[in-house]
Every structure is written in C-alpha cells, then in structure tokens.
Amino acid sequence: KALGITAPAENEDSDEAFEHQIIGASTNKRVNAGLLTYPTLMAVDILIQKATKVPVGKDQLQHLELTRRFARRFNSFYGVDVFPEPTDFDFGGAPVKVPGLDGSGKMGKSEGNCIYLIDDPKVIRKKVMRATTDEGPKTPNSPMSEPVANLFTLLELTSTPDVVEHFRQAYADCSIRYGDLKKQLAEDIIAATNPIRERISDIMADDSYLRRVVADGAERARARAAATLAEVRSIMGIRPL
C-alpha cells in the first residue's frame, strides 16, 4: 500500500503481463484489480528486501525496470536514498528468453509447454519429440518459422557450437530432418539438466535440511522486511497503530 501511493497508474497497465492477459479480449472483459496491481506487488517483493541483484529472464526485464522506476520515484519524492535500484543477475551473459516447445515465444508452466529441471530423461525425450515444427524448408536459406527457430534457440542453449552449426547447415541446404534435430536436442538437454536434477533429488530427500533452510530463510526475510517497512513508514510519516 505504501509503495502504491507513489506508483502512477500508467505504470501498472503498461506492464507486459497485464497486456498479455487483455490482448485479444473483448471490450467488455472484466480486468480485476489484482492483475492491475501485480507489477507493484512484484516490485515490493524486491524492494522490501533491498535487493541489488535479481535473477530474471529476458521476459521479466520490464518488471525489473518498473521496480527501478518505483525505487527512483520513492527516493526522489521523499528526498531519501532508501531503495537501491536492482539490476538483473544473468551470469555475465545477455538475458535469455527460453522459448516454449509448442512453438510459442515463451516457455512457462502456466503455458504447459515447458521442461522442468526435475524431469527425468524419458519425460524430456517425450516432450522434445512432441515439439511443434513445420513441414521443413523447401528452398535453400529459407527463413525459419517461429517453432523451428525456437528449437534452434534451445539447441544453442544446451548443445555445442559444432552441433548447432551442423543443423543450421542442414536447414540451409534443405537436408534437415527434424526427428534427428529433436533427438539430438533431447540428449543435450538431458546432459545439461542431469547434474541439476540429481542435486534437486538429493535435497528433496533430506527433509530436515529443507525445513531448516526454509525456516532460516523465512526468519531472515521477515527481519529485513520488517526493518524496511518501519523505515518506509517513518519516512512517510505513518505512525504505528
């Protein structure tokens, strides 16, 4: 609520998640307040911890920019330097937007087109082999359709450069076989996710460790949040009840 006082409404409805929900909707579609205020709530989750680095994908950069905007606006409005402006944590490379297996531009659990890091090899192979493609290139150096370009993006994320180049050349000269591409992609995804899946399985099997980490994290997060909230209320002149 405190941040909402200084967040202009035009920042809310310009958010990508908001636009995604209403694009193509009829003019009488009801848009609830929860969707409208979602960007502010997301910004609060970041700012209340005074985070400086946030792990986000390319599709979340707009959210992060709104968060920085809210931080600047609050600091400027009250003449303080309370909130740092967080930046994306991207492991030193460019932000990535991982494409979906259904040919859409985004992989996500809500879209039902994703590969989970906990998926076993059999599930990964099944998902990849069902990925959307097209009938294949008919002339040399044809432009790729979005579903095929998405598969090549996944290939670039998980395969070696020589493998990527091999399939790019095959596509360019019209000799590509999507079945071969998918089999290679599935095995490379499995190789990339195996260590992660094994680590997740080890952690999930240690119930006492999980409980300890969750409790410790929650305690520290509550303490930081309480301190930030008290500071913000003091700045805004809101007295405790």
How many Å apart are CA 168 and CA 140, to the nearest integer? Answer: 11
The C-alpha torsion from 46 through 51 and 55 to 60, rounded to 10°, is 40
What's at 170, amino acid-wise?
A
Picking from 17-26, 44-53, 84-93, 110-119, which range would have the lowest pLDDT averaged per residue?
17-26
User: pTM to 2 decimals?
Assistant: 0.72
Picking from 10-24, 54-68, 145-159, which range would have the lowest pLDDT averaged per residue?
10-24
- Tell me: pLDDT of 123 over 90: yes
How many C-alpha atoms does 176 have within 13 Å on its Cβ side? 31
